[in-house]
Structure 1
Amino acid sequence: MAGLLLLWVAIITMAPRSVVGIYPWMLCGYDPYGGFVADSDYKAALSLLAATMPKNASMSPGHFATGQAGVASGDVWALAFCQGDANTSTCYDCLQQTFEDVISSCDYKDATIYYDSCLLAYSNIHFRADDDTDYSPTYPIRNLKNATKEPEQFQRIVAALMNATASSAAFNSSTRLYASGQAEFDKELPEVYAWAQCTPDLSPDRCWRCLVQIMRVLPTFMTDAVGGRVLGIRCNLRYETQPFFPGPVTVQLSATSARPPRPAVAPNVKQAPAPVAAIGEERRRRPRSQAQAKQPSYPSYSTETVNNETIDSMWIDIATLRAATEDFAESNKLGEGGFGVVYKGSLRDGEEIAVKRLSKSSTQGVEELRNELTLVAKLKHKNLVRLVGFCLEQRERLVVYEFVCNRSLDQILFDTKKREQLDWGKRQRIIRGIARGLQYLHEDSQPKVVHRDLKASNVLLDADMNPKISDFGLARLFGRGQTQGVTNEVVGTYGYMAPEYVMRGNYSVKSDVFSFGVMVLEIVTGRKNSDTSQSEDLLTTIWEHWAAGTVLEAMDPCMNNSCSESDVMRCIQVGLLCVQENPVDRPLMSAVAMMMLGSNTVSLGSPSKPAFTFSARPVPTLEMGHVGLVD
């Protein structure tokens, strides 16, 4: 099962809605050995399961079934599962529909499809209930509407309700390991409804641990959304301000509940972990000055993501930052972006800093700030910009970074005069440094991070032209086993976004690899991929030169006297391999950093024609009813 989790790439498909509302979402995996053909033994085995499993699951006490069919390479393992309050007829119809959808729409050896009333997952790898890695990746989905009245109280009650409902599902439910909940607010706020469920082959203790794992996604992704869900295979949860389940409520929670109830302890089961921290719950702080003692509350996150003391130690009061930047003087302005302005400053001890001042009118800036605090506080690597601190005071939202003296790569690389400073040795160092930084984000940091906005303007250069990746406002965390995500709102920069992200909202480490490949080709040529003054985009131009055997003609002419032609050719080849249309064909950053760019003895594959890129085109939006995939 662990192998399966590493292979999934999300693909959204819309199937008939005769069974349930706004679903389904299908996650169709990329098998490294290829898919299966229409008349294959694998598809025949899957069809055999389709003939038996809907009935087996719908007639079972837990509305759950696993199955296996086929022999040798044609083995298929499947898991079918219906919502705890679904009746036999609804369960049967829903699972029949899921099999029809995956058989007709997915030709790979692993897939999962989610409906409101059921889910189906299948693979050529056995689903094992006793496997600790088998909690499955998580797919957080949020309602696009935010709570507008009493958001802190709303978040606190949501967290309490989710903990109580999850605890009831694990320890106090029937064989279906399912519970539904309701929390009542005062007249100013809506009621909240919730459900949580595990596959009934899990023990109560393992069910609770599975639910705790996916509840930890809520503080990062849901914040003040009025509804959301986290989809897995072994467990799922959801909350909304409107009723969404037909059965009775099993957990009632009043608005006066100050804390989530402690989970019950089932007989012969270990004590359950402590409940997940409330969304938006105010952290305890240790003020270091009178000014800091008056600081406002700031978002709370799972202790797995940001340690309280780490955040506390990074608080910088507003007076210090006003003094450091000369009250945000125009002369100290370093640049301006979509969320605000960046200023240079100097602290009393002489440390130079860059202060990002988020716009007061930008609601999106709040989410960016939360992201950056969550992500960057734990990231420690020489090729990542270091977070110095932050401030939430006097209606200011400020993020403080180390100052990097040569500013961003694009300001040098795309300037006809300044790029002469970048000889081939410096450009190689920049490429390799970016690769090492990405490798750390994708494979070495905990949790893993997908940047989602990697581009030349988000790579800063220090005094020795060493690169530092910056700006994590759009980045996303990946939990254990998760390899990709899906978003309803595509955000990023044209020219750097992978095609599967632009067209379907799918993002993964491989979408970052695509952006890296674009940057490699830009660094070698000194030309922007999004340069609208050119008749063709950069990728097309490079590919045509590669196919014609004239690729060296495309390199930046100011490097002619400083480069090795074989090194340039190798970098271009790596860049082309990174921008392949199919994400599976793109290398991992560890392979790029250690083998492709770190050694000339490793042979490289032959690239195919790169993906079509989007340089100045509108991005399609995935319409998913009133629920949008999290972003």
Structure 2
Amino acid sequence: MTRYKTYVLFILCTFLQLFVPSIAQETGTTNISCNYKYNQEYTNDSEFRKNIEKIPSVLNSTGASENTFFNFSIGNETETVNVIALCRGDLILDTTRCQSCLSAAYEELVDKCTKEKESIIWKDECMLRYSDRNIFNIMTTEPSDTDNNDGNATAKNFGKNLRCLLDKLQAAAAAGTSEMKIATGNISVPQGTTFGLVQCTPDFSAQECKDCLGEAFGKLPDCCINKIGGRVVMPSCNVRYETGSAPFYFRTAAQIRGTGYILNLYLI
């Protein structure tokens, strides 16, 4: 039976004043890494390449109508392709969009990483990675990448209040289950709203999820200090925040199906 778990918390933090655009910004960013600190390659006529080409069909046949997280292997012991795919958790009610994102991610990944045995791509709504090495149940924070919104946050205590929000989301996402580890929330004030989303691949423990997100948060000052939006992507987790009048994700917490914990946070 489908269950909804929505928690609304009122958290006392420093009041935040924002001067922001009228809409939340979409980055539309794609980040790709081919063979990060890894030198294994394949040829176009190899069995490994043939197994890579099977990824889309396997994704389409592994419960796509019910899932936003996939992990599977293709091939024999010597030419195995290990695959992890993750869609943003708010797409649980729109798995067609999830599949479309993963299909586009696959095409871009094999186009850019033409011979590397270990590759990963992050898009706004999904992540896809594969390797000949075992990548299952291994918390991984590299390779990583960052993006930011060009708009500047001029409000006093912007960073402090953002961290307050992200810390709460970190704990909430880690409290999820083996099906979903995601949390969304926002800082809502008259001048605008900062929306946040954090997510881990759900095959990790609560502590591993916290640790991964902690490392992601640690990269925000270098990429995104005083910016109204920012994103850090890693193989095992990701974080994003944007400031505007509407969230960058497509479902409110009450609409997201699953057993993960989804929070709306209102800081006052």
Compute the TM-score of the two structures, normalised by the length of structure 2.
0.77
Contact 1:54 1:95 in 2 (8 A): no
Q: Corresponding residue for 2:201? A: 199
Give, in whole Å, the separation in 2 of the partners of 1:155 and 1:190.
Answer: 15
1:173 shift after superposition = 6.8
Q: Deviations over 1:135-156 (max 9, x none)?
A: 43331221122112x2x32211
**1:169 and 2:173 correspond:** yes
In structure 2, relative to structure 1, the CA distance for the partners of 1:156 and 1:199 (3 Å cut) is same
Matched position secondary structure for 1:216: helix
In structure 2, relative to structure 1, the CA distance for the partners of 1:28 and 1:54 (3 Å cut) is farther
Give, in whole Å, the separation in 2 of the partners of 1:31 and 1:208.
Answer: 25
Give, in whole Å, the separation in 1 of the partners of 2:240 and 2:39.
Answer: 35
Alignment of 1:65-76 (within 5 A): 65-76=70-81
Q: Corresponding residue for 2:56? A: 50
In structure 2, relative to structure 1, the CA distance for the partners of 1:31 and 1:74 (3 Å cut) is farther
1:115 shift after superposition = 1.3
In structure 2, relative to structure 1, the CA distance for the partners of 1:164 and 1:173 (3 Å cut) is farther
Contact 1:146 1:226 in 2 (8 A): yes
Q: Corresponding residue for 1:88? A: 95
1:60 shift after superposition = 4.2
Aligned residues: 230
In structure 2, relative to structure 1, the CA distance for the partners of 1:57 and 1:158 (3 Å cut) is farther
Q: Corresponding residue for 2:230? A: 228
Contact 2:31 2:145 in 1 (8 A): no
Contact 1:173 1:179 in 2 (8 A): no
Q: Which structure would you say has the larger RCO, counting Cα contacts within 8 Å and 6 or more residues apart?
A: 2
In structure 2, relative to structure 1, the CA distance for the partners of 1:111 and 1:255 (3 Å cut) is same
In structure 2, relative to structure 1, the CA distance for the partners of 1:232 and 1:69 (3 Å cut) is same
1:28 alignment partner AA: C
Q: Corresponding residue for 1:78? A: 83
Q: Corresponding residue for 2:185? A: 181
Give, in whole Å, the separation in 1 of the partners of 2:63 and 2:216.
Answer: 24
Q: 1:126 aligns with which of 107, 112, 134?
A: 134
Q: Corresponding residue for 2:153? A: 147
In structure 2, relative to structure 1, the CA distance for the partners of 1:126 and 1:55 (3 Å cut) is same
Q: 1:157 aligns with which of 125, 142, 161?
A: 161
Compute the TM-score of the two structures, normalised by the length of structure 1.
0.34
2:127 alignment partner AA: L
Matched position secondary structure for 2:158: helix
Give, in whole Å, the separation in 2 of the partners of 1:143 and 1:228.
Answer: 6
Give 5+ residue unaligned stretches, structure 2: 1-25, 254-261
Give, in whole Å, the separation in 2 of the partners of 1:30 and 1:210.
Answer: 18
Matched position secondary structure for 2:184: strand
Q: Deviations over 1:321-341 (max 9, x none)?
A: xxxxxxxxxxxxxxxxxxxxx
1:65 shift after superposition = 1.1
Q: Deviations over 1:589-610 (max 9, x none)?
A: xxxxxxxxxxxxxxxxxxxxxx
Q: Corresponding residue for 1:100? A: 107
1:169 shift after superposition = 1.3
2:124 alignment partner AA: D
What's the C-alpha RMSD, in Å, of the aligned pairs? 2.4
Q: Corresponding residue for 1:208? A: 210
Give, in whole Å, the separation in 2 of the partners of 1:69 and 1:222.
Answer: 38
Q: 2:117 aligns with which of 109, 123, 126?
A: 109
In structure 2, relative to structure 1, the CA distance for the partners of 1:21 and 1:255 (3 Å cut) is closer
Give, in whole Å, the separation in 1 of the partners of 2:43 and 2:143.
Answer: 27
1:179 shift after superposition = 1.2
Give, in whole Å, the separation in 2 of the partners of 1:109 and 1:230.
Answer: 24
Matched position secondary structure for 2:53: helix
In structure 2, relative to structure 1, the CA distance for the partners of 1:254 and 1:51 (3 Å cut) is closer
Contact 1:43 1:103 in 2 (8 A): no
The structure whose residues are more often helix, as a share, is 1
Q: Deviations over 1:67-104 (max 9, x none)?
A: 21223442211111111011211111111222222223
Contact 2:178 2:203 in 1 (8 A): no
Give, in whole Å, the separation in 2 of the partners of 1:21 and 1:140.
Answer: 11
Q: Deviations over 1:382-433 (max 9, x none)?
A: xxxxxxxxxxxxxxxxxxxxxxxxxxxxxxxxxxxxxxxxxxxxxxxxxxxx
Contact 2:178 2:204 in 1 (8 A): no
In structure 2, relative to structure 1, the CA distance for the partners of 1:196 and 1:173 (3 Å cut) is farther
Contact 1:57 1:81 in 2 (8 A): no
Give, in whole Å, the separation in 1 of the partners of 2:27 and 2:46.
Answer: 33
Q: Which has the larger radius of gyration?
A: 1
Q: 2:31 aligns with which of 25, 41, 45?
A: 25
Q: Corresponding residue for 1:247? A: 251
Contact 1:181 1:194 in 2 (8 A): yes
Q: 2:219 aligns with which of 210, 217, 221?
A: 217
**1:137 and 2:139 correspond:** no
Alignment of 1:241-320 (within 5 A): 241-242=243-244, 243-249=247-253, 250-256=262-268
Q: Corresponding residue for 1:445? A: none
Identity of aligned residues (%): 26
Contact 1:183 1:252 in 2 (8 A): no
Give, in whole Å, the separation in 1 of the partners of 2:250 and 2:195.
Answer: 12
In structure 2, relative to structure 1, the CA distance for the partners of 1:57 and 1:140 (3 Å cut) is farther
Q: Deviations over 1:573-627 (max 9, x none)?
A: xxxxxxxxxxxxxxxxxxxxxxxxxxxxxxxxxxxxxxxxxxxxxxxxxxxxxxx
Contact 1:50 1:96 in 2 (8 A): yes
Contact 2:159 2:226 in 1 (8 A): yes
Q: Deviations over 1:341-368 (max 9, x none)?
A: xxxxxxxxxxxxxxxxxxxxxxxxxxxx
In structure 2, relative to structure 1, the CA distance for the partners of 1:72 and 1:55 (3 Å cut) is closer
Matched position secondary structure for 2:171: helix
Give, in whole Å, the separation in 2 of the partners of 1:153 and 1:37.
Answer: 53
